[in-house]
Amino acid sequence: MTHSTQKSRTQFNKLQKRLRHAVGDAIADYNMIEDGDKIMVCLSGGKDSFTMLDILMNLQKTAPVKFELLAVNLDQKQPGFPEHVLPEYLESIGVPYHIIEKDTYSVVKRVIPEGQTTCGLCSRLRRGTLYGYAEANGITKIALGHHRDDILETFFLNIFYGGKLKAMPPKLLSDDKKNIVIRPLAYCREKEIQRFAAFRDYPIIPCNLCGSQENLQRQAMKVMLKTWDKQFPGRLETIFTSLQNVAPSQLADTQLFDFAGLKANSNLLNGCEAIDVDAGLSFLAM
């Protein structure tokens, strides 16, 4: 083994350890996986879902609880989709899998005008199909490959374009209350997933087969976050931590906190407490 090969192997082992640690922490923090779970790993053919499946298969061997994995891909009948790639790969690694065949592509192309982004409708149709399959096949958890960068991008998209403080939660109960969605990569950085996927040399299937325009708003968020990450190291970690450290009384949502019902406790307005209140008011009046 050459020196460069040994160095590359060492770098891969360190990266793999970091990602596994991050996934393990996310699973533990949000109780994502429980004993006896049957987990549907949604495999799109992209780097994120390949990495998620890889790490979950490894954790399955050492986890203190027993759980099943089923890799599921939705073949949406997009022109040029290489139908053989995923089955061949999944058979080679020995994981149970199922390919759902449903022509959502034709529906999207019929409904969305030419030149407009198809991602929104496509994702809704895909989600509905996967939810239905999970319910019909005894799936207890649905694992999606969204990572930390996806969560942060969604957070800022909602702020800038939706007027909401909202992101992608690491664990979610679906609107119909029938499915639990988990995101095991919630603590993982996209650039580390990219490096891991390059080491693994997964058979990546690009998500441009439908000819849709890229989601320009999300792309703008991606560029913004990458710029911040380069100019201000640690900023993205701090922002993500803020999503886990919410103070409802310090925001302005009247549905989340009872501002109207706030009352001062007159028993505390004595001595030092009264001085502190006066000092605060004096400061505000300056």
CA–CA gap between residue 274 and residue 280 (Å, rounded): 10
Q: What is the DSSP letter of 160?
A: I
The DSSP H or E segment spanning 130 is helix 119-136
Question: How many other C-beta atoms lie within 10 A of the C-beta of residue 81?
Answer: 16
Instruction: Confirm or deny that 119 is annotated as ligand binding.
Output: yes
DSSP state of 159: I
- 210 assigned ligand-binding residue: yes
Main-chain phi, psi angles of 120, to 5 degrees:
-60, -55
What is the Cα–Cα distance from 39 to 143, expressed in whole angstroms? 7
Q: Is the separation of the CB atoms in 180 and 169 below 8 Å?
A: no
Q: Are 18 and 175 in contact (CB under 8 A)?
A: no
Asked if 157 and 221 count as a contact pair (C-beta separation under 8 A), the reply is yes
52: closest CA among 181, 140, 223, 243? Answer: 181
* Binding-site positions for [4Fe-4S] cluster: 119, 122, 210
* Binding-site positions: 119, 122, 210
